[in-house]
């Protein structure tokens, strides 16, 4: 039963929490480190402590050296020294290094680059959680078992010889009595070793079970549709007792308080809520409001009825992120809104051609995926999209919650879900939390106030993008996917959908 529990728990956790998103463990970032434009990929170990692989690619000017450094959000002592990320032989502009990350929770990787153009650095927030159990490979297990048997036999041989012949003088032969004593000693030693092995096996199973129980689990949540005076509302409620009792001082002493710190706005919203119908032919991106950080409500969008998968992104003041998951059944209703109430809310209904490249937007505009060649699991994909007006001219993409565009990717079985921006998979609020934190921000809630003000200022001054947007990402496994890309044209959010098939490969 214990083994079955561990297998079931391990499978469920890998399915649900392979990252701050779902089934997509790597962190991606694209942006500037001083004069250098970098794409950073952080591959976590999945265990804590563990070694993360950090891949850096310079686009344009190439630095002479790159260093990487890990640090925890609430670290009070000196951070470990930066580690060099050597250049990848035969791949110009690519650097790769390894970092030990010793504690789970909200961490960061600081990438520093220096060269002829100068120097600069960038902070990449990384959520580190234990979501996997490393299994013993069969060849190693067989080898260790054979070595153990050899050592066991050697121990018994030494004990038997010591008792049988240890007190004999030169040219003396063992007597029947000493031989009998030797056999008794071998039997006793065998019993002791068996008891030690049984105790060690039991200890190992208990430790393994405790580790499995301590692995990160997403906050439990439920979704429902409720009627109100203003119409139907989609409600997402966090049902996890860990969150409900987060204000309990004793509870916080026993847990990582920073992972349960207050929620903060990300891109100006306390929650980004996505509804995706099972057949992927209906999609909504909503932004609920809340009065207690437990129940979040948004107006029900004008989506066709059906069974929907619910994904909800929230961010803590510490930079720690969660993706809540649940199921919602939308039934036919006569109270559906004819237009968008919140200007940042949007929804889309329609199918997409397999391996589609071009989609029609409103007012005659189009979006084309400049996808290049085959997409292979584990290899960075070309997610570059060009948007043109009806007359063929490059479209003016207005900032949409501080970003030129948003994208959502889901595998057809929902085992992979990720919310992307041109800056990558990272949360804007998480990155700002690391950059703005000061030594005096030891009281939970202090930093959050400054974060909200700074984020709103950043969003107000976000530049307009013309023509194209791109997203750094590598699909974690083969299969059929749909990509929804959202841009803002003429003050209105519009969505395009693209299908693609990701092939299997070794990846890089």
Q: What is the pLDDT of residue 141?
A: 87
First to last CA, the chain: 38
CA-CA distance, 498 to 360, in Å (whole number)?
11
Residues of the chain with pLDDT under 50: 1-19, 249-254, 507-508
Q: What is the pLDDT of residue 134?
A: 72
Q: Percentages helix, strand, coil for the chain, rounded to the nearest 5?
A: 25, 40, 40
Q: What is the pLDDT of residue 314?
A: 93
> Collapsing DSSP states into helix, strand and coil, what is residue 149?
helix
Contact 427, 400 (CB under 8 A): no
CA-CA distance, 192 to 189, in Å (whole number)?
5
Contact 272, 327 (CB under 8 A): no
Q: What is the pLDDT of residue 333?
A: 76
Written as six digits, the tokens of 196 are 């030690």
pLDDT in tens, 403-438: 999 999 999 999 999 999 999 999 988 888 888 887
CA-CA distance, 18 to 25, in Å (whole number)?
5
CA-CA distance, 42 to 85, in Å (whole number)?
12
Q: What is the pLDDT of residue 506?
A: 56
In this structure, what DSSP letter does residue 400 have? B
Q: What is the pLDDT of residue 410?
A: 96
Q: Is 207 left (phi over 0), alpha (psi -120 to 50) or beta?
A: alpha
C-alpha angle 479/480/481, rounded to 5°? 120
The residues, ordered by sequence, that sit 6+ positions from 401 with a Cβ below 8 Å of its Cβ are: 267, 268, 269, 344, 459
Contact 367, 358 (CB under 8 A): yes
- Three-state helix/strand/coil letters over 480-494: EEEEEEEEEECCEEE
């Amino acid at each position: 039963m214990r083994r079955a529990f561990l297998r079931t728990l391990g499978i469920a956790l890998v399915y649900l929490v392979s990252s701050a998103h779902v089934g997509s463990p790597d962190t991606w970032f694209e942006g500037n480190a001083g004069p250098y434009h970098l794409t950073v990929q952080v591959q976590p170990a999945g265990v804590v402590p563990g070694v993360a692989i950090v891949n850096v690619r310079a686009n344009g000017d190439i630095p002479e050296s790159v260093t990487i450094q890990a640090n925890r959000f609430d670290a009070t002592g000196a951070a470990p020294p930066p580690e060099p990320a050597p250049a990848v032989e035969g791949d110009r502009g690519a650097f790769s290094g390894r970092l030990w990350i010793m504690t789970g929770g909200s961490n960061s990787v600081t990438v520093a680059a220096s060269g002829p153009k100068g120097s600069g650095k960038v902070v990449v927030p990384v959520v580190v959680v234990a979501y996997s159990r490393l299994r013993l490979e069969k060849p190693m297990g067989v080898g260790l078992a054979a070595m153990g048997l050899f050592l066991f036999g050697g121990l018994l041989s030494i004990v038997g010889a010591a008792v049988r012949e240890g007190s004999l003088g030169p040219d003396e032969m063992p007597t029947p009595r000493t031989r009998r004593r030797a056999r008794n000693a071998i039997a006793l030693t065998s019993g002791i070793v068996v008891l030690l092995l049984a105790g060690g096996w039991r200890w190992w199973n208990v430790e393994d079970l405790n580790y499995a129980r301590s692995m990160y689990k997403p906050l439990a949540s439920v979704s429902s549709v409720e009627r109100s005076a203003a119409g139907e509302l989609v409600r997402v409620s966090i049902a996890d007792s860990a969150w409900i009792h987060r204000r309990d001082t004793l509870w916080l002493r026993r847990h990582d308080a920073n992972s349960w710190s207050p929620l903060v706005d990300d891109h100006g919203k306390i929650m980004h809520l996505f509804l995706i119908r099972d057949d992927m032919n209906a999609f909504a991106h909503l932004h609920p409001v809340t009065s207690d950080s437990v129940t979040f409500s948004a107006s029900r969008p004008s989506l066709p009825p059906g069974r929907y998968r619910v994904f909800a992104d929230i961010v803590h003041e510490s930079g720690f992120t969660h993706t809540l998951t649940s199921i919602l059944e939308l039934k036919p209703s006569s109270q559906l809104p004819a237009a968008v109430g919140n200007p940042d809310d949007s929804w889309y209904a329609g199918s997409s051609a397999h391996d589609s490249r071009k989609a029609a937007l409103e007012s005659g505009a189009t979006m084309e995926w400049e996808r290049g060649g085959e997409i292979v699991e584990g290899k960075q994909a070309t997610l570059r999209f060009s948007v043109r007006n009806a007359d063929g001219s490059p479209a003016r993409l207005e900032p949409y919650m501080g970003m030129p565009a948003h994208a959502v990717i889901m595998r057809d079985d929902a085992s992979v879900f990720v919310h992307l921006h041109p800056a990558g998979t990272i949360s804007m609020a998480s990155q700002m939390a690391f950059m703005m934190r000061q030594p005096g921000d030891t009281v939970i809630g202090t930093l959050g106030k400054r974060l909200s003000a700074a984020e709103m200022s950043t969003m107000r001054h976000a530049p307009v993008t013309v023509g194209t947007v791109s997203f750094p990402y590598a699909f974690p496994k083969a299969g059929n996917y749909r990509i929804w890309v959202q841009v803002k044209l003429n003050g209105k959010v519009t969505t395009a959908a693209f299908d693609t098939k990701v092939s299997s490969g070794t990846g890089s």
